[in-house]
A and B are shown apart, each in its own frame.
Chain A
Amino acid sequence: MAAQTVEKGADMALIERLQLEVERAVQRSLKGIELLGAPPPTVGQTPKTVLHRRGTLSLYHYHATADEIYRIPILFVMAPTNKAYIVDLAPGQSLIEFLLGRGYDVYLMDWSAPSDEERHLKIDDYVLDFIPDCLRRVQKDSGETDVTLVGYCAGGMLSAMYQSLHPGGPVKNLVCLTTPVDFKKMELFQSMSNRRHFDVDKLVDSVGVVPASMVAAGFDALRPASRVAGQVRLWDNLWNDQFVKGFRMMERWGNETLPLPGGYFRQTVKELLWNNAFYEGTLRIGGRLVDLAKIKVPLLHIVAQHDHIVPSACSKPLVERVGSRDKEEVTLPGGHVSIAAGANAVKRMWPKLDAWLETRST
Chain B
Amino acid sequence: MSTSFIPDPLQMWRDAVTKLESNVNSLVTGSMESQEVVRSLHQFRTVSLGMEQAFEKAIGSYLSKVNLPSRKDIADLAATLQRIEDKLDRLLPAPPPAALAPRPPRTRRPTASAATAPQSRPADAAPVKPRRGAKRSGG
Contact = CB atoms under 8 A, between A and B. Distances in A.
Question: Is the pairing of A and B real?
Answer: yes
A64 B35 contact: no
Contacts of A48: 138-139
Interface residues of A, number: 73
Interface string B114-139: 11001101011001111100101111
Contact of B97 (A9, A143, A192, A194): A143
A242 interface: no
Contact of A102 (B1, B46, B100, B127): B127
Contact of B108 (A103, A198, A202): A103
B10 A10 contact: no
Interface string A330-350: 000000000000000000000
Interface string B85-112: 1100100000001001101111111110
Interface in B1-59: 1-6, 8, 10, 14, 17-18, 20-21, 24-25, 28-29, 32-33, 35, 38-39, 41-42, 45-46, 49, 53
A329 B34 CA distance: 34
B82 interface: yes
Contacts of A35: none
A320 interface: no
Nearest to A118: B79
A198 B42 contact: yes
B79 to A, nearest CB: 4
Contacts of B63: none
A63 B138 contact: yes
B85 A53 contact: yes
Given A68-B104, A229-B17, A49 B137 contact: yes
Contact of B134 (A9, A63, A228): A63
A206 B49 CA distance: 9
A50 interface: yes
A69 B127 contact: no
Contact of A144 (B24, B85, B106, B111): B106
A116 B79 contact: yes
B86 A66 contact: no
A191 interface: yes
Nearest to B29: A188
A236 interface: yes
Nearest to A68: B108
Contact of A196 (B18, B35, B106, B137): B35
B25 A226 contact: yes
B8 to A, nearest CB: 7
A214 B3 CA distance: 48
A101 B127 contact: yes
B108 A66 contact: yes
B43 to A, nearest CB: 8
Interface in B63-79: 72, 75-76, 78-79
Contacts of B24: 224-225
Contacts of B85: 53
Contacts of A226: 21, 25
Contacts of B6: 10, 14
A197 B38 contact: yes
Contacts of B121: 355, 358-359
A63 B42 CA distance: 47
Interface string A229-241: 1001100100000
A147 B35 CA distance: 46
A58 to B, nearest CB: 9
A4 interface: no
A55 interface: yes
Nearest to B139: A50
Contacts of A352: 123
A34 interface: no
7 contacts: A13-B1, A63-B101, A64-B104, A68-B104, A70-B108, A202-B46, A225-B21
Interface of A: 9-10, 12-14, 16-17, 20-21, 47-50, 52-55, 60, 63-71, 101-103, 105, 115-117, 141-144, 187-188, 191-192, 194, 196-198, 202-203, 206-207, 214, 221-226, 228-229, 232-233, 236, 328, 351-352, 354-356, 358-362
Interface of B: 1-6, 8, 10, 14, 17-18, 20-21, 24-25, 28-29, 32-33, 35, 38-39, 41-42, 45-46, 49, 53, 72, 75-76, 78-79, 82, 85-86, 89, 97, 100-101, 103-111, 114-115, 118-119, 121, 123-124, 127-131, 134, 136-139
